[in-house]
Structure 1
Amino acid sequence: MGKGSRDDMLSALPDDILVNILDRLNVPEAARTSILARRWGQLCGKLSRLIISVQDFLPEGVLHSNVSVDELVRTNAAVVQATESILARRNPGEHTIRLLSTTFYLRDDAPLSIGRAVGHAMATHLVEVAKFSVRTGTDDIAEIDDDELVTCGRKFMVFFDACSNAFGGLTSLELQNLRFGESDISSILVSCKRLKHLHLYNCDSGEHSTLQVEHAHLNELCITQCRLTHVKLSWLPQLTLLVFDGWIDFDDPLFIGHVPLLTSVSLTNVALSFNKMFKLSEFLSSTSVQNLKLGFRSEKIWVQPECPTQSLASVFCQLRFVNLVNLPEGYDLTWTMFILEAAPLLKDLYITVWDHACSMEMDEEKRKKELYSEDKGVEWDSATADFQHRSLVTLVICGFESEDYFVNYVRRVMAAAVNLEDVFLYSRLLCANCKDEKQVRFPWTKRQRISLKKRITVGIESFAIIHSNKMVREDHQAKILYPECSRFDTSC
């Protein structure tokens, strides 16, 4: 800038570039720029991305899960004020709203105020993507009883009935800790005609209830820790992603009807000693998924290995990516070979072996009382002799140890996967909340890595490169978590 210049270089930029910059900030940060000059205040009325969340108004370091009642009320009021203020600055029909996302608590009259402001914005502007993320103040299921679930469910339906315009324009809806009436969810789906993403966390219509879903445009359905006996996907012609985390009944919990575009499926559950094992050929019948995540929460394997059949081949014929999450430690992995046999197009196989103390029941008395299984593995050795897989390119194992069962499994995959390019062996995952400091046998030194490579490759002709590292590569970590919508999260 020249000496004595009254304007800074940033303010000299054209409006469209400045709006693009402000769109990258959250609403509170963008709103603060209005104090700079009258021009900056006008720019806030042109933003195309409006993300207004209670998290942005909480004190630094305070999370949704441990907010006090006073903070809950204060932040909810701040969200209402921000929503009404930022929408009131806009000239009707002048600028398209690409994204309008609000996250708030289901408390007092705040939802009604937000719903009416959003509904008015939808009536006067073009809103491409609209999202409600409705929270109840706790993420811990154990801290909310049945009466509170019912109360929250009724509060939500009052909100829903009073703000039909807003719900009619929603494209994404996240709900938490609600017990609905028998027909409430159906009413919501009928009214939310534009809905593409529905995430339910601890929501049901009474314990051991059935969820039936029909919708013309729903693209993503995430069901997490809902006390449901059955989920029926009756008619979902646009559904591409299903996350089903935690079911009660192991007797046909999932019915898949008309879902012709379903390509990504994530299934996670804790199996107890008396629970039967699932055959994926039956569980996923009438589908041909491309991305499959199976989660076990460090407990009993609930997948039954299968010999190659026509029905299994039909389910796995398009499979490209498999992610096996939190397999219990110390058990043979040979059973996973049946997936390779049935999925000729599989390119990437990711396996995480981890006894994650944070998510496990560690009390021995409770484990006995609640019938947790002490034998978590499954025996399987029916792989076809001289079986060859020609598509697998990458094998990633997190939680690898220099034990014979790990080494023998890697050898088996390398022998079968004739075009395998890379084998990534990572140490046991770490969790900041765990106090578990278990020592693991991992090839930490260069000498140990050379020795491990010899143990794996002796007698095997393979061009695959073996990588052994302590830290997981960022791109691998992202895939390990994919498709992770199994917790109530506004980033989903």
Structure 2
Amino acid sequence: MAEDCGDDTISTLPNDILLNILDRLHVSDAAKTSILSRRWSQLSAKLPRLIINPVPEDMLSLFGRYVSCAKISDGYLARLNAATFKATKSVLAHRDPGQDTVRLLSTTFYLIGDVPISIGHAVGEAMAVHQIEKAEFTVLTVKGREQCGLVDLVSYGTQFVSLFNECRNAFIGLTRLYLENLRFAESNLVSNIFVTCKLLKYLGLFNCDTHKWITLQIEHAQLSELSLVNCRLDKVELKWLPKLTRTTYKFWMSFKELPLSFGHVPLLEFLELTNVTFTSHKMVTLSTLLPETCVQDLRLGFKCEKVR
């Protein structure tokens, strides 16, 4: 039949199967199929999931989830970032407004140069004309935690603040946000993230803090998962989080009994607490920490006898 129609075997497959195949490719490879024919061009514009990552899968498998700057040059990362923007803009530009809901738009990029703001604008514009069920930003830094000094943390924090202020339209629609290696000069920046990102279901902060030690009070109607790892905060108060189900808090620096308290968290099921505690740290008393929660999965990782 393929010979009679003059088509290759793959092109004879129905659209839903071809879309399933394209959905399994890296988005840049899927976008390249648009040059094959008008049909393929229309298919690549209908992808239900757009997972845009600057680091190829083979590099991830070779170096791990987070690629150290010791293994990839800044210039190459800048080119990867630019390629991410090009792919993001291309796949979104080919979609017809109001048609074919995007089930997932996940974009990963590095805080380097002006490309992050360009990506933010492209995603914000897409949110204005397309229906997007889930939108995710994974914001990485060129240097990992081990290589980051104070100057690096402040510089990355400043770059992120510029991105956040310039691209509020994109952040308003986010459902997932991961940030790493940032120090904010403004003490209320993290609180502003919760106020702006009203649809946020997941927030992950790794090695993030503010210039001054702060008490972070969190109230959010949609947040279901919170992960704080190696963050320099005086205290975290989970005041009103009606949909929160999972909380991870690792490696805090405060010397209070536990810089974490729970208010209205009726659905909390999973709690992980890990810390390399010192003799100057006070005892963590679980009976006073979790008096009115419904935690079913409690995971503790203390390196000395500082929990009871």
Q: What's the TM-score once normalised by structure 1's chain length? A: 0.58
Residue aligned with 2:40, SS: helix
- 1:109 corresponding residue in structure 2: 114
Aligned with residue 170 of structure 1, among 174, 197, 201: 174
Aligned with residue 92 of structure 1, among 83, 97, 116: 97
Give the counterpart letter for 2:79 in structure 1: R
- 2:272 corresponding residue in structure 1: 266
Tell me if structure 2 keeps the 8 A contact 1:207–1:227. no
Whether 1:243 aligns to 2:245 is no
Tell me if structure 2 keeps the 8 A contact 1:58–1:71. no
Whether 1:37 aligns to 2:42 is no
C-alpha distance in structure 2 between counterparts of 1:129 and 1:109, whole Å: 25
Whether 1:71 aligns to 2:73 is no
- Once the two structures are superposed, residues 99-121 of structure 1 have per-residue CA deviations (whole angstroms, 9 ceiling, x without a partner) of 00100011211111111111111
C-alpha distance in structure 2 between counterparts of 1:260 and 1:116, whole Å: 37
Give the counterpart letter for 2:176 in structure 1: S
C-alpha distance in structure 1 between counterparts of 2:133 and 2:259, whole Å: 35
C-alpha distance in structure 2 between counterparts of 1:234 and 1:30, whole Å: 44
Tell me if structure 1 keeps the 8 A contact 2:2–2:9. no
Q: 1:3 to 1:46 in 2, by over 3 A?
A: closer
Offset of 1:201 from its aligned partner? 0.6
Tell me if structure 2 keeps the 8 A contact 1:130–1:171. yes
C-alpha distance in structure 2 between counterparts of 1:162 and 1:253, whole Å: 32
C-alpha distance in structure 1 between counterparts of 2:158 and 2:291, whole Å: 36
- 1:228 corresponding residue in structure 2: 233
- Once the two structures are superposed, residues 190-220 of structure 1 have per-residue CA deviations (whole angstroms, 9 ceiling, x without a partner) of 1111111110011111364322211111111
Residue aligned with 2:87, SS: helix
Alignment of 1:286-435 (within 5 A): 286-296=292-302, 299-304=303-308
- Once the two structures are superposed, residues 169-207 of structure 1 have per-residue CA deviations (whole angstroms, 9 ceiling, x without a partner) of 111111111112111111121111111111001111136
Aligned with residue 263 of structure 2, among 237, 244, 257: 257
Q: 1:3 to 1:235 in 2, by over 3 A?
A: closer
C-alpha distance in structure 1 between counterparts of 2:230 and 2:34, whole Å: 43
Tell me if structure 2 keeps the 8 A contact 1:267–1:294. yes
Q: 1:93 to 1:2 in 2, by over 3 A?
A: closer
Residue aligned with 1:185, SS: helix
Query: If you compute each CA radius of gyration, which structure gives the higher value, 1 or 2?
Result: 1
- 2:161 corresponding residue in structure 1: 157
Aligned with residue 283 of structure 2, among 277, 280, 284: 277
Tell me if structure 2 keeps the 8 A contact 1:208–1:248. no
Q: 1:57 to 1:291 in 2, by over 3 A?
A: closer
Residue aligned with 1:231, SS: strand
- Once the two structures are superposed, residues 3-27 of structure 1 have per-residue CA deviations (whole angstroms, 9 ceiling, x without a partner) of 5662233211222221122122221
C-alpha distance in structure 2 between counterparts of 1:58 and 1:153, whole Å: 30
- 2:6 corresponding residue in structure 1: 6
Q: 1:92 to 1:207 in 2, by over 3 A?
A: same
- 1:216 corresponding residue in structure 2: 221
- 1:26 corresponding residue in structure 2: 26
- Once the two structures are superposed, residues 305-326 of structure 1 have per-residue CA deviations (whole angstroms, 9 ceiling, x without a partner) of xxxxxxxxxxxxxxxxxxxxxx
C-alpha distance in structure 1 between counterparts of 2:92 and 2:179, whole Å: 24
Q: Which runs of 5+ in 2 are unaligned?
A: none
Tell me if structure 1 keeps the 8 A contact 2:235–2:260. yes
C-alpha distance in structure 2 between counterparts of 1:154 and 1:57, whole Å: 30
C-alpha distance in structure 2 between counterparts of 1:116 and 1:102, whole Å: 12
C-alpha distance in structure 2 between counterparts of 1:80 and 1:2, whole Å: 38
Q: Which runs of 5+ in 1 are unaligned?
A: 305-492
C-alpha distance in structure 2 between counterparts of 1:274 and 1:235, whole Å: 31
Q: 1:174 to 1:2 in 2, by over 3 A?
A: closer
Offset of 1:55 from its aligned partner? 1.6
Offset of 1:92 from its aligned partner? 0.9
C-alpha distance in structure 1 between counterparts of 2:227 and 2:25, whole Å: 28
Tell me if structure 1 keeps the 8 A contact 2:137–2:174. yes
Residue aligned with 1:46, SS: coil
Tell me if structure 2 keeps the 8 A contact 1:122–1:166. yes
Q: Which runs of 4+ in 1 moved over 4 A?
A: 1-5, 57-60
C-alpha distance in structure 1 between counterparts of 2:143 and 2:293, whole Å: 36
Using CA pairs below 8 Å that are at least 6 residues apart, which structure has the higher relative contact order?
Answer: 2
Residue aligned with 1:75, SS: helix
Q: 1:2 to 1:204 in 2, by over 3 A?
A: closer
- Once the two structures are superposed, residues 288-311 of structure 1 have per-residue CA deviations (whole angstroms, 9 ceiling, x without a partner) of 201122223xx324322xxxxxxx
Q: 1:263 to 1:175 in 2, by over 3 A?
A: same
C-alpha distance in structure 1 between counterparts of 2:17 and 2:240, whole Å: 44
Alignment of 1:426-465 (within 5 A): none
Offset of 1:248 from its aligned partner? 1.2
Give the counterpart letter for 1:166 in structure 2: A
C-alpha distance in structure 1 between counterparts of 2:23 and 2:133, whole Å: 15
Give percent identity, aligned residues only: 50
Whether 1:17 aligns to 2:17 is yes
Offset of 1:78 from its aligned partner? 0.6
Residue aligned with 2:25, SS: coil
Tell me if structure 1 keeps the 8 A contact 2:45–2:92. yes
Offset of 1:68 from its aligned partner? 1.6
